[in-house]
């Protein structure tokens, strides 16, 4: 299934889904070449991104492009939300021959900057009574729109728009009827953390026993020993035959192109 982007004037640029990030980079290159003001705006926007890529958020969120067939869902668009750092979905209405707001898809994912996701070292003693994902090196990420499932969709999208292998694997999954957080945990060793009882300071952790780092295992055992785990896990392995892989590097922002004093992006 093809995807692509639609600009504010309705011009459609088609490409494969895994080519979306590269397309975003080209759009930003042209945007920054137009003026020093544009270049500076991108530099300032980029300052809050060190963990995930910024290109999608800048093009779709800031420049107002629409993503065609988000998560390879046919006849949908993912669009920016004016004045807010999140997105909304639109669905094609055949009778009207146009895309209309999708009631059940509003504001399902948000921006992925370090600041938006409150990315920082996990510290259970800090009194964080909110859902988080804890990464293999014990960094926490807080869902900025709704909960774990929405953040998982957000992260999966960032991987799918730049990695062909990951995109093609996810295309084989019944994405609509599968928990996005579960899918993400097939490819990334994550602890799905929740505080179950704020007063008693008890928490729960969901994880895959065949896809967990040494640091995560130690944290889990530490919380268990301290009596803070009211529910340790349901093991994702029992729910799916999917082979767990540590493909976390496919989601990270490893090679970031930034403008410098002598050359715009």
Domain residue extents for the chain = 3-105, 120-250
Model confidence pLDDT, tens digit, residues 207-240: 888 888 999 999 988 888 887 787 776 665 555 5
Residue-wise pLDDT tens digits, 149-168 = 899 999 999 999 999 999 99
CA-to-CA separations, 247 to 57, 165, 190, 232, 251, in angstroms, rounded: 22, 10, 11, 24, 8
Is residue 198 predicted with pLDDT exceeding 70?
no
Indicate the average pLDDT of the chain. Answer: 85
Nearest 10 degrees: Cα torsion 195, 200, 201, 205? -40
User: Do 64 and 81 touch, CB atoms closer than 8 A?
Assistant: no
* Residue 170, both tokens: 């996810």
Tell me, rounded to whole angstroms, the distance of Cα 247 from its chain centroid. Answer: 14
- pLDDT computed for residue 224 by the predictor: 85
The pLDDT assigned to 265 comes to 46
Question: Residue 191 pLDDT > 90, yes or no?
Answer: yes
Q: What pLDDT sits at residue 261?
A: 42
Mean pLDDT of 127-144: 85
Question: Tens of pLDDT along 16-43?
Answer: 999 999 999 999 999 999 999 999 999 9
Average pLDDT over residues 96-107: 68
What integer pLDDT is reported at residue 263 of this predicted model?
Answer: 41
């Amino acid at each position: 299934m093809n995807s692509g982007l639609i600009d504010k004037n309705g011009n459609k640029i088609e490409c494969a889904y895994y080519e979306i990030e590269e397309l975003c980079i080209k759009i930003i290159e042209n945007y920054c070449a137009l003026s020093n003001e544009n270049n500076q705006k991108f530099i300032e926007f980029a300052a809050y991104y060190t963990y995930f890529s910024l290109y999608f958020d800048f093009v779709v969120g800031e420049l107002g492009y629409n993503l065609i067939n988000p998560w390879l869902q046919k006849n949908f668009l993912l669009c920016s939300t004016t004045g807010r750092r999140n997105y909304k979905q639109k669905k094609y209405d055949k009778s009207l021959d146009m895309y209309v707001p999708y009631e059940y898809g509003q504001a399902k994912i948000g921006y992925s900057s370090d600041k938006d996701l409150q990315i920082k070292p996990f510290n259970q003693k800090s009194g964080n009574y909110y859902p988080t994902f804890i990464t293999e090196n014990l960094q926490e990420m807080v869902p900025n729109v709704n909960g774990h499932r929405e953040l998982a969709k957000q992260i999966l999208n960032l991987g799918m728009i730049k990695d062909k292998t990951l995109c093609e694997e996810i295309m084989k999954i019944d994405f609509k009827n599968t928990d996005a957080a579960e899918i993400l945990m097939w490819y990334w060793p994550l602890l799905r953390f929740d505080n179950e009882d704020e007063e008693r300071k008890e928490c729960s952790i969901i994880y895959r026993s065949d896809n967990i780092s040494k640091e995560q295992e130690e944290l889990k055992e530490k919380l268990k020993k301290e009596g803070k785990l009211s529910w340790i896990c349901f093991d994702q392995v029992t729910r799916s035959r999917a082979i767990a892989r540590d493909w976390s590097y496919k989601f990270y922002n490893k090679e970031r192109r930034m403008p410098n004093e002598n050359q715009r992006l």
